[in-house]
Structure 1
Amino acid sequence: MSKKFSLTGISDIALGKDLRAENEVIGSKASMSILNSVSFFLAGVSILFLVAFQINESVSLTWFFLSEAIAFLLIPLLARQGFEKASKILLIAYADIGIIILSSVFGDDAMIQAFFIPAMGLSILLFDNTQIHLRNLGILLSILSYFILDYIIFERINMSASGFSLVRWAVLTGSFVTTWLIFNTFSQFKENAEQQTLELLKKEKELNEELSVKKEKLENYINQLEETTTELEKSTKAKSEFLATMSHEIRTPMNAILGMTHLLKQDDPRKDQLEPINILDFSGKTLLSLIDDVLDFSKIEAGRIEFENIEFDLSNLVNVILESFRTTAKNKGISLEIEINDNVPNRLIGDPARLTQILNNLFSNALKFTEEGEVKLEVSATEKAPDLAKLQFLITDTGIGIDKDRIDTIFESFTQASQNTKRLFGGTGLGLTISKQLTELQGGQITVESEEGVGSTFIVELDFGIAEDVDLGKNGGHNKDHDVSLLKGMKILLAEDNLVNQKVMKRFLERWEVDMKVVNNGKEAVDAIEECNFDMILMDLQMPEMDGYEATERIRKLDDPYKRKVPIVALTAAALKEVREHVYAAGMNDFVTKPFNPAELEQKLAQIVLNKA
């Protein structure tokens, strides 16, 4: 109940707005809306009769309908102040009184008393089934009013026809009962519908609140996911940069170690020097292999392994691999054999670097676990179409073999055939894992057949495209001695900032009777090519003052067409695909990865000379 009575809310009531006293709802919206509508309607009717009786100079009726109009206007305000039940009873009472007065004025012929039926219905609509006593009280008021009208005003009690009176009573009773049942049924239906609507609205509100909470949680999760993704991207980028830096920083000194070791072995060392040199060579290559395994495994785990699809010569690739292991095999007294079947296309399309990596790992593994006998690579085409071939690579050794109980686990990360194997032969146990993953990522498969004490055969199956054969022969159209003769007398410019690597490269090129000039950075390389003609440039990528990329771009813009087209081979310690792509984009002809394989370097230089010729 409000603290004071006010007329300021009448406009809100007239407009059918919700009736509220501060935060408390005074009545249900449906019943109070009916009360408002009926009250103002009857107020308007009373005013019409007030005007009509004023014109007829009926003072008593004028004042009566004036009081009725005021009462009907005040009833909603009374309900607004908290007297809801009393307001509804007063509305029914004033409506009944109005019907009685009008019926007495207009007589029996106007049938004004018929409006008692809507008055009964009004009682049912105003009170729900929780206020059944008040509802019945409202109906009783309408019935009593009718009897007052019937017996007192029209004096129908003295009718002589008693039978007619009984019939009349029966009809009236039936009418009242029927009306009550109809309105009560409608009211019950209305109330049930309202109750269901309220429940649905409540459920909808709860669902909306729940949805709002879940939406807020989802937004929080999305924000967290975005933050995590950003952090992951930063971490992945940092890891990639770290891998690239590690690759470069480790490969640079390894280039000097392996290069000098190779040169020492070529200088006809004394017998007492040969063993230390071989140990140094083996240890350096083993260390490089371990480093490559760890870096490649990290890249595979990070999902950053990418594959090229370029043309390459299979015979040259296999021969380079054979040369890189020939010394190790010779020192152990093991023969190396390679057999490429006639049905194998020589020019293929695929990723030569990854094929080299797979075969290197398997060759290294075979040599490591073989003390006598041979290691053999056999290549054959199991399926062949005009533009596609499925090749099978068999790497067979006569080594210690693998126990049948362990054969299913050798491709797992950091796993070897046994703990005894790890102690005897060392290694990270990543070589076979990386080979398997690289093979499967290219759509191929790798399997193994082995018998303990007899040897093992690793089988690699990969699909390659078939390129047009340039018909250079199985060894690429030239041999090692012919390559040396091709390089003899060439003028080569070496751009390299590392003094040790300068000396290593200089020693190699001097053996090949090459006329070489050495500069320390890209700027000096550009100045040197402007002053003099060279047949080829060996360009390191990371140098102070001007790197190899910028130097190459400047050389490609020189006015002299001969100097502008001079072949440039990149020397890079970063064996990443994006680096190789950058090399070609800058205008370089080829690249050699540090630490370079002397046979590979010699072959690439000779091939460039042949192409130039």
Structure 2
Amino acid sequence: MIPELVSSVFAVFLLVLLIRVLYRVWPNRKDSPSQGIYANFVLAALILEAETIPDLLLLCGIFQLNKIAASIFYTTEFTLIALVAYQWFKYFVTIQNEKKVFTRKWNILFAIPTIIVFIAAASSYWTNALFITEFTDGQYYYLNGTLPWIQYIPYIYILAGMGLIFKQAVKDNREKTRKNLWFIFTFTFPCAIAVAFQALAGIDYGFTQAGICLAVYLSYVELYIEEIKEAKRLKDIDEINAKLKDANQAKTRFLFNMSHDIRTPMNAIIGYTSLISKNMSHPEKCLDYISKIDKSSQYLLSLINNVLEMASIESGAIVNDTRICNIYAIKQSLESIFGEQMKQKGLEFNVNVDIQHTNIIIDEVKVRSILLNLISNAYRYTLPGGTIVVTVREFHSEKPDCGMYQVIISDTGVGISKEFRSHLFDEFSREKNSSGNKIAGAGLGMSIVKNYVEQLGATISVDSEVGEGTTFTITHPAIPLAQSDEQAAPVETSNVIPRFEGKKVLLVEDNDLNAEIAYEILKGMGIQVDRAEDGIQCIHKMSQSEEGYYDLILMDIQMPNLNGYEATRAIRTTMTGKKADIPILAMTANAFKEDRLESLKAGMNGHLAKPINVIELTQELSRILG
């Protein structure tokens, strides 16, 4: 009785093991045909092992079955053993990537060995063909029938598997042959050991069922887990392909939007330029055309800048550049930038500040970009007679030496529909395209705003109703406060271009059109201009000139022969005295922050991005030339 009880405990252990395997494989049964078959393979083995436990308890004499019940019990057991072998063969064939053979037509043919075992077992109650059940002296007995060899018919499945391996070996597919041999070994070896133990014991303690359970588990460890990894890899590839497809579609949408949005201002620039040439005798018309060309050029420049900003954001190249920022200086800047155009459109524009601390530590460039985008949108979508209000408020912050700041930009414009609000911050999203609502825009500004707000550690929300206006609220829970808290001095603006009489500038520019524009601007400031067409000419002119002859070098970056960085390094390292220390100001179309840093690293004193902004150029000249 002791061996039967030990076998029962071991059978319970194997049953728990198979339950765990089934728990892992059953959810994957629909992922592929092979995984579905393997799930059935494990399920059949689990049911077989579950039946082994009462079988062992029968041997212990704990309870008894009558002849009918015993026949049903053993018919089920023999059929399950054959069914496990059949499911193993189906799985083996399926994972070979051979032509699919388990169709309804062929299923019956391959199931013939299992069917034979089932018929032999089910008829044994009357024929005693496969087994005999006897009750002697109150003890339950199971004996082999008159045709016990029938139970070995499912071994045909093993032989069929060997045949497939031989076929592959002939094809010299060594890797696949090795893998298949190992799979057959993991199934047959535990079963063979179990049969040997059963022969030595002289009685069935569930050895055959235990061998099958161990074979199923080894198959799981050696093959099924690897198949799951492969399926996951293929799934990952599918996801990557889907992302690439989405990226390709996004690129197509980008090119479509850019084609339209670039052609719109370009058409205006080309068209009005042509009209100027035909209306030279009408100065008032020409001035109007020039004004419209200027507006179209500014829009085109803002579009390019937005595209570059989004490219930097998506590449992860943009980081926070925190420094002391004066809130009142930003207020004055906004009033200076938008005041006149708001007045011309007939809009009331107010910037209200309610704060306790004037100076904060934050990335001022991002803050200005956020405000400029939001206020520009409010300006575009608010009709004449409307109102735009910017409010900056400070609250107590839970973080020491910090303040909670809130910026509210509200307008009485056309508003945003509820359906579009969920797409408001998507790239290239516009509720109506520019051809439909007469309002220009590439749909990048709000995406830039959202990215910058999140990079600063703040949040943004929108409240809007169609026809009632829009309110954006930006909240930062903890902005560090600067020690100094002086209010910014009023910004004095003047339309008078300063003069730099007697100053000499070496303009290093390879493009004739750019050189002509820069020459005329500098000449208008009273500056004498000498030109070099590349870095080599620049170094030659510097070496040939007297010390102190040039007061400043305006250096382009991308030039033939020797670029601006290399020319600057050569001047700093090979020349002496005032020549080596001459101020060098980059004036280039390379407009990224990395380009500015590279200019400073090369030894330049400043960086201006093309197209030339006269105000910025004047500020830099005043700083350097005094």
Q: TM (normalized to structure 2)?
A: 0.52
Aligned to 2:519: 506
Contact preservation (8 Å) 2:429, 2:444: yes
1:541: Cα distance to partner?
1.6
Contact preservation (8 Å) 2:552, 2:584: yes
Equivalent residue letter for 2:558: Q
Looking at structure 2, the residues matched to 375 and 540 of structure 1 have their Cα atoms a distance apart, in angstroms, of 41
- Distance verdict in 2 for CA 1:417–1:597, change over 3 Å: same
Please tell me whether residue 522 in structure 1 is matched to residue 538 in structure 2: no
- Distance verdict in 2 for CA 1:400–1:215, change over 3 Å: closer
- Distance verdict in 2 for CA 1:449–1:208, change over 3 Å: closer
Q: Deviations over 1:122-152 (max 9, x none)?
A: xxxxxxx9799xxxxxxxxxxxxxxxxxxxx
Identity level (%): 29
Aligned to 2:441: 427
1:388: Cα distance to partner?
3.9
Aligned to 1:444: 458
Aligned to 2:374: 362
Larger radius of gyration: 1
1:352: Cα distance to partner?
3.2
Aligned to 1:574: 590
1:309: Cα distance to partner?
1.6
1:501: Cα distance to partner?
1.9
Tell me: higher relative CO, structure 1 or 2? Use CA pairs within 8 A at least 6 residues apart: 1
Aligned to 1:110: none
Equivalent residue letter for 2:618: E
- Distance verdict in 2 for CA 1:511–1:427, change over 3 Å: same
Please tell me whether residue 497 in structure 1 is matched to residue 514 in structure 2: no
Aligned to 2:556: 540
1:489: Cα distance to partner?
4.7
CA RMSD of aligned residues (A): 5.0
1:546: Cα distance to partner?
1.2
Aligned to 1:553: 569
- Distance verdict in 2 for CA 1:373–1:511, change over 3 Å: farther
Looking at structure 1, the residues matched to 203 and 343 of structure 2 have their Cα atoms a distance apart, in angstroms, of 103
Aligned to 2:181: none
1:503: Cα distance to partner?
2.3
Contact preservation (8 Å) 1:320, 1:600: no
Please tell me whether residue 282 in structure 1 is matched to residue 298 in structure 2: no
Contact preservation (8 Å) 1:334, 1:374: yes
Looking at structure 2, the residues matched to 446 and 213 of structure 1 have their Cα atoms a distance apart, in angstroms, of 47
3-state SS of paired residue (2:438): helix
Q: Deviations over 1:369-405 (max 9, x none)?
A: 2324554544443457775444433434454445677
Looking at structure 1, the residues matched to 439 and 623 of structure 2 have their Cα atoms a distance apart, in angstroms, of 38
Aligned to 1:395: 409
- Distance verdict in 2 for CA 1:452–1:208, change over 3 Å: closer
Looking at structure 2, the residues matched to 308 and 428 of structure 1 have their Cα atoms a distance apart, in angstroms, of 25
3-state SS of paired residue (2:573): coil
Q: Deviations over 1:297-348 (max 9, x none)?
A: 4554x453522324265466665565555664465355655455563534x5
- Distance verdict in 2 for CA 1:482–1:326, change over 3 Å: closer
Contact preservation (8 Å) 1:580, 1:591: yes
Which aligned pairs between 1:154-193 and structure 2 lie closer than 5 A?
188=201, 192=205
Please tell me whether residue 598 in structure 1 is matched to residue 614 in structure 2: yes
1:600: Cα distance to partner?
3.0
Looking at structure 2, the residues matched to 312 and 507 of structure 1 have their Cα atoms a distance apart, in angstroms, of 37
3-state SS of paired residue (1:517): strand
- Distance verdict in 2 for CA 1:571–1:464, change over 3 Å: farther
Which aligned pairs between 1:3-18 and structure 2 lie closer than 5 A?
none
3-state SS of paired residue (1:554): helix
Aligned to 1:202: 215
Aligned to 2:139: none
Which aligned pairs between 1:324-335 and structure 2 lie closer than 5 A?
324-325=337-338, 328-329=341-342, 331-334=344-347
- Distance verdict in 2 for CA 1:287–1:334, change over 3 Å: same
3-state SS of paired residue (1:425): coil
Aligned to 2:489: 474
Contact preservation (8 Å) 1:412, 1:433: yes
Q: Deviations over 1:465-486 (max 9, x none)?
A: 44565969435xx744599558
Aligned to 1:583: 599
More displaced 10-residue stretch of structure 1: 332-341 or 288-297: 332-341
Looking at structure 2, the residues matched to 493 and 131 of structure 1 have their Cα atoms a distance apart, in angstroms, of 111
1:464: Cα distance to partner?
4.5
Segments of 5+ residues of structure 1 without an aligned counterpart are: 1-128, 133-183
Looking at structure 2, the residues matched to 461 and 372 of structure 1 have their Cα atoms a distance apart, in angstroms, of 29
Q: Deviations over 1:511-531 (max 9, x none)?
A: 333333332222233333442
Contact preservation (8 Å) 2:508, 2:554: yes
1:540: Cα distance to partner?
1.8
More displaced 10-residue stretch of structure 1: 560-569 or 446-455: 446-455
Looking at structure 1, the residues matched to 236 and 458 of structure 2 have their Cα atoms a distance apart, in angstroms, of 40
